[in-house]
Amino acid sequence: MTTAGTVEHSEPVRHVLEHCEIFDHHQWLEVVLSAHHDVTDRDLSVFRSGLDAVAGWRSKPMLIHMQSLRGVSLEGRERIGRYRHPTPIAVVGTGPVDEIIASFTLRSPSSTRYFSDRVEALLWLGIAAA
């Protein structure tokens, strides 16, 4: 808090990976996937390693931007389908292909929901629009 009694918002910590970026907003995570990319099992392994570099990542809700993905490999779909995140995951897409691809994450045991609007996704996660 500042001396005026307002809350200071620090900049998110940015982690750049091969096909995505992770922004640690300290109370929540924002993941931006590379546009027009086919996600593979290897990409998911790199992503997991990147998450491990974020302090307390397991306790933070996650917002994932799909960015018009081209597809997800069979192995990637299986891995996503088994993954359980302890906090909610909001997936934001830009069109029908993203929504179809997101359906694989919606089948996971995690609390996951698809949105076409970032603000609605943040509200669902319980985060004031940032």
Instruction: Report the mean per-residue pLDDT for the chain.
Output: 83
Question: What does residue 54 show for φ and ψ, rounded to 5 degrees?
Answer: -100, 120
Confidence of residue 28 (pLDDT cuts 50, 70, 90): very high
Structure token pair of residue 94: 């830009």
User: What phi and psi values does residue 52 have, to the nearest 5 degrees?
Assistant: -60, -20
What percent of the chain has a predicted confidence (pLDDT) above 90? Answer: 38
Chain-centre distance for alpha carbon 63: 4
Residue whose pair of structure tokens reads 């993905």 in the numeric block: 69
Within 10 A of 118 (CB to CB), how many other CB atoms are there?
A: 15
Dump pLDDT digits (tens) for 69-116: 787 888 887 887 777 788 999 999 888 777 777 776 666 777 889 999
Taken in order of first residue, the domains within the chain and their CATH numbers are: 13-125 (3.40.50.10600)
